[in-house]
A and B are shown apart, each in its own frame.
Chain A
Amino acid sequence: MTTAKKNKATFLQIAKAVSWAFFGVRKQSDLDMDASNLTPKQVIIGGLIGAAFFVLTLILLVKLVTN
């Protein structure tokens, strides 16, 4: 688990990890990959962006329903 390796995580990887986390499920092999590639900072920032995205999606859905 080197720092050089950790920096390799792409935005897509973080997004994937966070989206699965929102569902509450993660495959063991993917989890091991997350653990070796992602830093806590990336996950927390990804989580906050994910939460904001989630809220915006819900607002969009509500707008669609009410219009």
Chain B
Amino acid sequence: MAAVHDHDVAHAHDHHPSGMMRWMMTTNHKDIGTMYLWFSFIMFLTGGVMALTIRAELFQPGLQIVNPEFFNQLTTMHGLIMIFGAIMPAFVGFANWQIPMMIGAPDMAFARMNNWSFWLLPPAALLLLSSFFVPGGAPAGGWTIYPPLSVQMGMGMDMAIFAIHIMGASSIMGSINIITTILNMRAPGMTLMKMPMFVWTWLITAYLLVLVMPVLAGAVTMLLTDRNFGTNFFNAAGGGDPVMFQHIFWFFGHPEVYIMILPAFGIVSEVIPTFARKPLFGYSSMVYATASIAILSCIVWAHHMFTAGMPVTGQLFFMYATMLIAVPTGVKVFNWTATMWRGSMTFETPMLFAIGFIFLFTLGGFSGVICAVVPIDIQVQDTYYVIAHFHYVLVSGALFGIFSGAYYWLPKWTGHMYDETLGKVHFWLTMIFFNLTFFVQHFLGLAGMPRRIPDYALQFADFNMISSIGAFGFGLSQLLFLYVVLKCIRGGAKAPAKTWEGGKTLEWTLPSPAPYHTFETPPVVR
């Protein structure tokens, strides 16, 4: 297969600028993917520093390090930055790098819009972060920006609203690009049902994004006009309804949860077959389960609001619908396990993170089912139980998926093998400290410790101390990841084209590092 033309290598530098301008002007999916990934890592460290400040304050009862107003800003900004700055852009980075290579396309469908989608993000992040320095400080009402608090705050809230608008526009453009690329640019012979699972999960995620990001934009625009132009959408005194915001927000917010997990499902569905040296068990069920999860994700939003006031029929409806999501998710977990069953497994770092993902994400899924039960949810609402639940889903789910994918494709991206020993150390440190941080938070929540508080009653002291120690261990372990990545970029053993023996998708037919331009002549898929 003539995947790479000679002139690609010889003239990889031609007709595009060098230095900073290369990155500013680039329309190459690999460059843009790299920028997305670095951006998300910087945001991950930024949000991580906020998390560590939160955990330092909660190390013992009383107020030691930050004042309560700043503490609330930290919890809010930690959430916003990790969701919109770290997890989402990281997956778009993977999509940019991998989707064209996995479907045999030369680039993304709208290459210039791709550049624009990325370059919207740094200004949005700056806008969001600089809200710390304006009068009144950063938003402090929680990442869900519920009114009336979000209507009452200072101009930091307006900055956050604009930042969300910009990041939303970036996401929508990115999604349209991904959908168009997947539907129109697949190699001859690659029918939809032959696409790699990662491509499938991103196709469905992109549709979800196009569906719900405008809803978020609408919600924050209404907030903006309530704040600045005298409207009363969410002001009860003016005939509005603050609970309406919650409905609109969570109609975005719940699919958003799946937007952050489906691409991780896709990565794990690539990694497990590779290291089990077996095809993915039940490929078509995986596709169907992903579609089914996406549809169900749109009809469960009010389970975030069981205590906000709703008729019992509403509570029951959302409880049943939420519990039913466990069915397709269970199908996926079963399929991953069945893929490993009797496989010739090896446990390189990507596989370790993928297995860690299955194990811990399932735990997070179970605590989700528990939260879905209305009477239990009324007890654990706004406690650390919920914090523990969603960190099991988003850290050991989404983030472990990202780590798994990063280690899996780093040799393809850099042309060098990463340091396997350090990768494994990174996994085990991450695994141990993650559980140390978040497992005890289940107990804190069940004992009644509320979320978003800088100080707490004495009976919560021990578990908080354990959690804070775990958090610092977890945070510092991520610097090891940075070191491994930098080391891998700078050198190391030469990675072969087919880095992993079991790798079956099209990117493994390309040399490592993947040349600047690939698949200018599409490969033929049998």
Q: A residues near B, CB below 8 A?
A: 20-26, 28, 31, 35, 40, 47, 51, 54-55, 58-59, 61-63, 65-66
Contact = CB atoms under 8 A, between A and B. Distances in A.
B317 A35 contact: no
A22 B312 CA distance: 26
Interface stretch (B96-104, B254-262, B324-332, B452-460): B324-332
Interface of A is mostly: helix
A40 B179 CA distance: 15
A47 B313 contact: no
B195 interface: no
Interface in B280-300: 282, 284-285, 288-289, 291-293, 295, 298-299
10 contacts: A20-B288, A23-B328, A24-B327, A25-B288, A35-B193, A40-B192, A47-B295, A61-B320, A62-B313, A66-B316
Nearest to B288: A21
A40 B293 CA distance: 18
A23 B325 CA distance: 9
A64 B332 CA distance: 31
B331 A25 contact: yes
B321 interface: yes
Given A23-B331, A51-B295, A28 B284 contact: yes
A54 B296 CA distance: 10
Nearest to B183: A40
Interface in B303-339: 312-313, 316-317, 320-321, 327-328, 331-332
A2 to B, nearest CB: 15
B292 A22 contact: yes
B299 A51 contact: yes
B328 to A, nearest CB: 4
Given A24-B327, A28-B284, A55-B321, 11 more contacts: A51-B295, A54-B299, A58-B320, A58-B321, A59-B313, A59-B317, A61-B320, A62-B313, A62-B316, A62-B320, A63-B313
Nearest to A35: B193
